[in-house]
Amino acid sequence: MTAATAFRPDADTAVLLIDVQESFRHRPYWDPAGFEPYMARTNALLTGAAARGLPIVRILHTDGPATPDNPFSLVSGHVRPMAELADVPIAAEFLKRRHSALAGTGLSIWLTEHGIRRLIVAGIRTEQCCETTTRHASDEGWTVDYVTEATLTFPIRHASGVVVGVDELKLRTEVALQDRFAQIVDVEAALDRATQRSAVAA
């Protein structure tokens, strides 16, 4: 975990930026389609959060063999933030080895110690680590806003041979999460809700 940078001390909402790392460009399923609008919305979320003094927590993923040809191995050099990300202050950084960013990372301790009660989830992949973290966080008692437009994923081939596309994966994720584990919101709504909570707390 990196040392924390300054953020507004009364902030009770944090942005979780999950697995937005160079590793994905080196996977065979990498597809640049949709990447540019995804990054634009992600950067709007990051810069908006930074302007409001919200802590931004970065999570990076590593797993598999510790070999240079595994892009999720630390020795590959690809477990690092994507170059297109906005240059904003990062409150803390955690390295995870499971799908949930809360599993074995110390993130839950950090959030509790800093009085965080609400999370804004963004990152890669929509239906995998972002969704799993959201479910885990909700079950642990955090309120979660899931910003689908600031998540990215790729088509998945089912065992039957059917390919499930990005739009269908995102829709399925929203249906599974909405009103059970999270509220589905866009970037502006997530930031507005964080600002409203801060105003009430003040």
- Cβ of 85: how many Cβ atoms within 10 Å? 16
In one-letter notation, the amino acid at residue 61 is H
C-beta of residue 100 within 8 angstroms of C-beta of residue 129: yes
CA-to-CA dists, residue 10 to 107, 116, 197, 198, 202, angstroms: 19, 9, 10, 7, 8
pLDDT tens readout for residues 48-83: 999 999 999 999 999 999 999 999 999 999 999 999
C-beta of residue 127 within 8 angstroms of C-beta of residue 52: no
Helix (H) or strand (E) holding 41: helix 35-51
pTM for the model: 0.95
3-state secondary structure of 191: helix
Tokens of 191: 């930031």
Place of tokens 């009430």: 200
Tokens of 88: 């904003």
DSSP secondary structure letter of residue 69? T
pLDDT band at 5 (very low <50, low <70, confident <90, very high): confident
Give the whole-angstrom CA distance, residue 147 versus residue 187.
6
pLDDT tens readout for residues 121-162: 999 999 999 999 999 999 999 999 999 999 999 999 999 999
Give the whole-angstrom CA distance, residue 41 versus residue 59.
18
